[in-house]
């Protein structure tokens, strides 16, 4: 009697006996990913309801925070490695080492993919970055080298250091394998990852219908790759750069110069850009940004305060917990939607999750309150 009761409880229909119950027919083809690498890409496109309702436009976010390595950089790390393998610069399980200068997500994506392919990752980063970043990379089995913060012209700068380390490795008669410098800023495999993946996915997910694409630029790979794929298909598509405060790219797009002397943008700072936003904003034009720069129609500058307000708004209204660059993208997407007027479709990137930004961006953004709710106008006037 006990067995029958359990069977009744498991069945939606208590009157059905286990013998009568049939398994639903299985699909003809299996759906199994062959390891981590096959889980990269094909992320959902989410209608961000609170932003769409408030603007009268459809604002869609590509959910890159759902990638296995937690960010949009998985696609890039995979493409950098695959291209190097195709060119004979890396051989799986050979003791080869991948060197990269990064302060963020690229290091995590490289660290996990190096493990998946049988390489070691050596990541150079400035020593003023939060300890949790280097801890995470160490946990993933990457070698982490922390160097003093320095401008790009300095040989000790983290990207230059990674390049030098890869050269030392390759020349050394003692260290096994070769040293490959991934070089996400200048290596054009980066924008090609988005040209082959992110761009076509967005086009298909939208059924070929979109009016605007908005994204920030760190290396520039995302905006260039997506723009280069979409623009030939959709000549009227507007491409908008979302740029955090302190970055030089806004002026480059709007006025054709990197620095506006009136704003002291070009003054030498220890920090590269003066913002709490991580991953986007830069004061030089990289090969990956240049690859798509002529296709960018406009730029919107986003302040830290409005980005923090947007991040809280997205949680408050929809439980969408995003990182700092995604929040900047959403502010710029909303401003673009308001400029274009109701009825348009604007697509942006949700680059990573808020969990990567707890100690910096979200520490400053504060907790999301229980009762009182912000309006979008309040977000934009923060």
Q: Which residues bind ligand PMP (CB under 6 A)?
A: 71-73, 104-105, 216-222, 279-280, 323, 325, 351-352
The pair of three-digit structure tokens given for residue 287, joined into one six-digit string:
């090969």
CA distance 144 to 133: 10
Residue 209 bears catalytic tag:
no
Following CA atoms 321, 323, 326, 332 in sequence, which dihedral angle do they give, to the nearest 10 degrees? 100
Least separation in angstroms between residue 199's CB and ligand PMP is 12
Q: If you count DSSP H runs as helices and E runs as strands, how many of each does the chain have, helices first? A: 15, 10
Residue 114 makes CB contacts below 8 A (sequence gap 6+) with: 81, 98, 120, 121, 141, 142
C-beta of 72 vs 84, nearer to ligand PMP: 72
The pair of three-digit structure tokens given for residue 274, joined into one six-digit string:
């003066």
Least separation in angstroms between residue 140's CB and ligand PMP is 16
The pair of three-digit structure tokens given for residue 37, joined into one six-digit string:
């690498």
CB 182 within 8 A of CB 110: yes
Phi/psi at 353 (5° precision): -95, 160
C-beta of 54 vs 72, nearer to ligand PMP: 72
Angle at CA of residue 118, ends 114 and 124, nearest 5°: 35
Least separation in angstroms between residue 213's CB and ligand PMP is 13
Residue with tokens 């012209």: 153
Half-sphere exposure in the Cβ direction for 303 (13 Å, CA): 7
Choice among 73, 97, 133, 238 that is catalytic = 73
| Alpha-carbon distance values, 48 to 52, 61, 79, 237, 247 (Å) | 6, 7, 29, 20, 27
C-beta of 280 vs 376, nearer to ligand PMP: 280
C-beta of 197 vs 323, nearer to ligand PMP: 323
Least separation in angstroms between residue 33's CB and ligand PMP is 24
C-beta of 310 vs 351, nearer to ligand PMP: 351
C-beta of 108 vs 340, nearer to ligand PMP: 108
Least separation in angstroms between residue 104's CB and ligand PMP is 4
Least separation in angstroms between residue 299's CB and ligand PMP is 13
Q: Is residue 100 exposed (0-12), middle (13-18) or buried (19+ Cβ within 10 Å)?
A: buried
The pair of three-digit structure tokens given for residue 177, joined into one six-digit string:
């394998």
Active site residues: 73
């Amino acid at each position: 009697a006990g067995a029958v009761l359990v069977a009744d409880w498991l069945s939606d229909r208590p009157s059905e006996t286990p013998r009568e119950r049939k398994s639903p027919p299985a699909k003809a083809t299996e759906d199994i990913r062959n390891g981590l690498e096959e889980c990269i890409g094909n992320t959902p496109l989410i209608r961000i309801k609170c932003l769409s309702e408030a603007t009268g436009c459809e604002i869609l976010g590509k959910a890159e925070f759902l990638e296995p390595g937690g960010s949009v950089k998985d696609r890039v790390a995979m493409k950098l490695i695959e291209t190097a393998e195709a060119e004979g610069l890396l051989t799986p399980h050979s003791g080869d080492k991948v060197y990269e200068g990064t302060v963020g997500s690229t290091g995590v994506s490289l660290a996990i993919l190096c493990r998946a392919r049988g390489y070691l990752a050596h990541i150079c980063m400035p020593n003023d970055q939060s300890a949790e970043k280097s801890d995470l990379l160490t946990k993933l089995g990457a070698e982490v080298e922390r160097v003093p913060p320095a401008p790009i012209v300095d040989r000790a700068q983290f990207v230059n250091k990674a390049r030098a380390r890869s050269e030392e490795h390759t020349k050394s008669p003692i260290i096994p394998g070769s040293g490959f410098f991934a070089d996400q800023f200048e290596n054009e495999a980066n924008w090609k990852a988005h040209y082959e993946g992110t761009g076509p996915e967005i086009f298909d997910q939208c059924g070929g219908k979109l009016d605007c694409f908005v994204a920030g630029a760190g290396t520039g790979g995302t905006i260039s790759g997506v723009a280069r794929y979409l623009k030939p298909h959709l000549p009227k598509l507007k491409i908008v750069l979302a740029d955090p405060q302190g970055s030089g790219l806004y002026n480059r797009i709007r006025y054709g110069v990197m620095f506006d002397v009136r704003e002291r943008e070009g003054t030498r700072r220890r920090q590269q850009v003066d913002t709490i936003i991580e991953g986007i904003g830069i004061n030089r034009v990289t090969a990956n940004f240049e690859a798509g720069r002529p296709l960018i129609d406009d730029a919107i500058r986003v302040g830290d305060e409005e980005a923090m307000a947007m991040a809280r708004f997205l949680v408050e209204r929809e439980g969408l917990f995003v990182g700092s660059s995604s929040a900047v993208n959403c502010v710029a997407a909303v401003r673009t939607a308001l400029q274009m007027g109701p009825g348009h479709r604007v697509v942006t990137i949700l680059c990573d999750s808020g969990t990567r930004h707890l100690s910096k961006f979200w520490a400053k953004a504060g907790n999301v309150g229980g009762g009182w709710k912000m309006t979008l106008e309040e977000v934009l006037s923060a």
